[in-house]
Amino acid sequence: MIMQAKFEPTIIILSAGNGERMNSSTPKVLHEVAQQALIKYVLELSGKVNSGCANAHIVINRELEGNKQFQEICKQYQVKTIIQQERLGTGDAVKTACDSIDALRDLVLILYGDTPFIKPSSINAMAEQIEKGADIVIIGFNAQNPTGYGRIVSTDGNRVEAIVEENETTEVQKSIRLCNSGILLVKKDVLLDFLVNAKYNRDKEFYLTDIVGCTKNKICTYIVADEEEVMGINDRKQLYVAEKYMQKVIVEKMIELGGTIIKPETSYFAADILISRDVVIYPNVFIGKDTVIKSHARIHSFSHIEGGCIDEHAIIGPFARIRPNTQIGSKSKIGNFVEVKNSTIMEGVKAGHLSYIGDATIDNDVNIGAGTVFCNYDGSKKHHSKVGEKSFIGSNTSIISPVIIKNKATIAAGSVITKDVDENDLAVARARQLNIKNKSKIK
């Protein structure tokens, strides 16, 4: 769902945790679900809430500050970073951010870098609560197993009386299934008043959840989201659960767009793939990031596609591999055990089996026989070849790039092509066969 109206809050994304439970050298927010870093989901949400990420700020630690991948993501989204020098709780992280932001907007939205699936519709619902008079709005969820979560103690009418952490709950409160996600929308003045007056605990920490009890005479309400939407990812098991959830979301989106996904539980899809209506995807397929599949295309089993565009009525596979920067034209067929990389395949091209097409442009209606290899790498750099329309490449041909094969040329099977071939020419480049009488070694 697209935001109904952009209300342009200041957005603070808390991402300063070290993520020890991931047991990884990769910072937690850079772990991927559906081939997309967790922090990217949060930044994309931020861009939908506002007009881009100009009002978004990420609170980070020193580890993230020096991470090249993270720096590239920040540059891509044009988001600002703020360093929390010491880990003194979520309240301290927000205070660090507010002290560093030149001008807070009237509303402040607190998100988390490891909670990637918040929907724009939920942010809309929070904004509506503010319009109705709330000062603070939190996202709650009804947990199947609430153990470990902060409980929302509420009255009728969605009013929040307190958020009670697990270790402070009474026996009665332990039975509450309504839990706090940590996502918060708050009026600027209310937040600043809390940050000024909040007291650090004996561990020299303070937490954002304290805002409910520390802001007397202020109205705090909640909305309820699905538990899957607000899941936080802190360890490998939760990453696995998140992956399963996201695959379900992606498949449902593709079906809504008019695609047929046969046995989707056997296949894998990246978060950013785009498909059109009447696409058919057979079982056991991997479709990675930066992939576009247009209408009526068919992707057969055991095919691997990543970073390519598959045009209308094209057929891929089975057992085909499409690598990045590849365009497969309308009505073309890339068959079993054919690999295509960094190439443009135009309309009506047939490469049925057992071939490698790398760094090439193949014009319309070309036939590429079995065992054809475009030898594009000379040991130090790649070279590009071009095949003109309606040409025929015989089986077991090696094309030593760079060469140009012009329109309607024919390459004899078994040839090694090292020179350009003119239009309508027949190229034969193979050793002459020599039969020596009575020299067979078979007794």
Q: Say if strands 298-299 and 315-316 run parallel, antiparallel, or are unpaired.
A: parallel
β-strand pairing of 151-155 with 159-164: antiparallel
Q: Report how far apart, in Å, the C-alpha atoms of 166 and of each of 173, 214, 253, 343, 345 are.
A: 9, 19, 36, 57, 59
Is 112 annotated to bind a ligand? Reply is: yes
DSSP code of residue 433 = P
Residue 430 known to bind ligand = yes
Which segments of 206-294 does DSSP mark as H helices, in order?
211-214, 236-256
89 labelled binding-site residue: yes
- Pick the catalytic residue: 31, 296, 304, 353? 353
37 labeled binding residue: no
Given a contact cutoff of 8 angstroms between Cβ atoms, the answer to whether 109 and 127 are in contact is no
413 has binding-site annotation: yes
Nearest to 258, CA basis, from 203, 305, 295: 295
Strand pairing class (326-328; 344-345):
parallel
28 annotated among ligand-binding-site residues: yes
Q: Is 367 annotated as a binding residue?
A: yes
Q: Reply yes or no on whether 353 is catalytic.
A: yes
Distance CA 279, CA 265 (A): 17
379 labelled ligand-binding:
no
Mapped onto helix, strand or coil, the DSSP state of residue 119 is coil
| Side chain identity, residue 64 | L
Task: Please state the length of the chain.
Answer: 443
271 marked ligand binding residue: no
Nearest C-alpha neighbor of 83 from the set 70, 93, 72, 71 = 93
Residue 67 annotated as binding?
no
Confirm whether residue 336 is marked as ligand binding.
no
Residue positions forming the annotated binding site for Mg(2+)? 114, 234
Residue positions forming the annotated binding site? 28, 84, 89-90, 112-114, 150, 165, 180, 234, 323, 341, 356, 367, 370, 376-377, 395, 413, 430
What are the catalytic residues?
353
Residue positions forming the annotated binding site for UDP-N-acetyl-alpha-D-glucosamine? 28, 84, 89-90, 112-114, 150, 165, 180, 234, 323, 341, 356, 367
